[in-house]
Amino acid sequence: MPFSPIPRGVYPSVTSLDPKKLKEKGITLVLADLDNTLVPYKVLEPSPEVAAWMAALKEEGIDLFLLSNSRKPGRAQKFAQQVGIPYQGHSGKPKKAGYFKAMERMGRTPKETIMVGDQIFTDTLGANRAGVTPLLIKPIRLAGNPGRYIRYAAETPFRLLGGRRPFL
């Protein structure tokens, strides 16, 4: 499988990913990162817009699965239980094993799965390694950790390249 940090498009947020268009592309499973993808860091409740997007996925018959590297005890679990979706914490992204385990649990293949996340070197790289289509979104909020600014700066060339090859 390819060792590539380049996503299939860069999108403003998860809500810009139209569930109808995903379904038309044959997508039946969305693996999603938690922090800075579905909600800001430390937040346990989706915004009304994200909640509506999650409901629209369900209406289209697309399962949402929380694939998180979060090491905070119970964070991914609490969020997933609150919104009623399956989850996997400590997923080890960018290792492909976490992606395969999630797809196996959901009975899906890489061809019918996308990964939505805000980070190149975990979400996108891991998805590409597992043969899953990676869709990159802009992080919800960078504030609070100077290391994030450095990491996102290092990701800039890959974000620019990914923006030239949209999936939707």
Report pLDDT digits (tens) over 56-69: 999 999 999 999 98
Q: pTM here?
A: 0.93
User: What domains can you pick out in the chain, each with its CATH number?
Assistant: 10-161 (3.40.50.1000)
CA nearest to 154, candidates 120, 126, 131, 128: 120
CB 33 within 8 A of CB 67: yes
Q: What percent of the chain has pLDDT over 70?
A: 97
